[in-house]
A = this chain, B = another copy of it.
């Protein structure tokens, strides 16, 4: 069996995330159907991460096993000829038999886009979160650094989550402006449920003065979801890159 590592991009607007679901359309279901069309049989595909409904991916990694000796370029061409236009297969390569898109992950990077122009941009309604007040990207970038390190992120985990071990390592956190878009970027070994969206919500509240500057360390310390900011909506969130081994990112 050959193990194929596949990188895709998708507009998540019309999907209920990656993971297969009985009553809603998922990226995994569409990918499985596409592989079946090409290989004429059911092929299991592993994704690097569940993503929530309406969340996007710039470079999402999956893997699947085939016996066919089709070359990787042709897999990409074949996939793009059967996939809907909101999913693109970007690259494929053959990897070691034990590679698993999810379990082999070293780290993931998410970005979150906030649009802070005076008037909402009709072209970005599904691709960024509209925040009516001008953001101080320098301040936010500085405050975001407090997330870096190994911390118990219980305050930044959706309250319904059943996970009990909430310690995670954030490798990098930054905020930068690109015109009227403010890009929040977080790289971590792993994330808790809604963690990025709560970290962004907390930074937005700090900018608005609803949460005091410099209080991220004490919010982490408190292990109390109530003290963090709101969970910002999914449409601004993008799985941006997945790293397998420190230098081995998806491309």
User: Within 8 Å CB of A127, what residues of B?
Assistant: 123
Task: State which of B87, B90, B120 has its C-beta within 8 Å of the C-beta of A88.
Answer: B120
A109 within 8 A of B: no
Chief secondary structure at chain A's binding surface: mixed
A136 within 8 Å of B (CB atoms)? no
Minimum distance in angstroms from A9 CB to a CB of chain B? 5
* Complex contacts, A120 vs chain B, CB 8 Å: 80, 85, 88
Say which size band chain A's interface belongs to.
10 to 19
Q: Is the CB of B122 within 8 A of A87?
A: yes
Q: Is A70 an interface residue (CB 8 A)?
A: no
Chain B nearest Cβ from A114, distance in angstroms = 16
Give bound CA distance, A189 to B10, whole Å: 40
Shortest beta-carbon distance from A127 to chain B in Å: 7
The answer to whether A89 touches B123, judged by C-beta atoms less than 8 angstroms apart, is: no
Q: Is A121 an interface residue (CB 8 A)?
A: yes
- Residue pair A119, B76 in contact (C-beta under 8 Å): yes
| Option from B85, B86, B90, B121 in Cβ contact (under 8 Å) with A9 | B121
Chosen A-B contacts, 24 in total, with CB atoms closer than 8 Å, are: A9-B121, A9-B122, A9-B123, A10-B122, A11-B122, A11-B123, A11-B125, A56-B123, A76-B119, A80-B119, A80-B120, A85-B120, A85-B122, A85-B125, A86-B122, A86-B125, A87-B122, A88-B119, A88-B120, A88-B121, A88-B122, A89-B119, A90-B119, A123-B127
- Shortest beta-carbon contacts, A-B, top 4: A85-B125, A11-B122, A86-B122, A88-B122
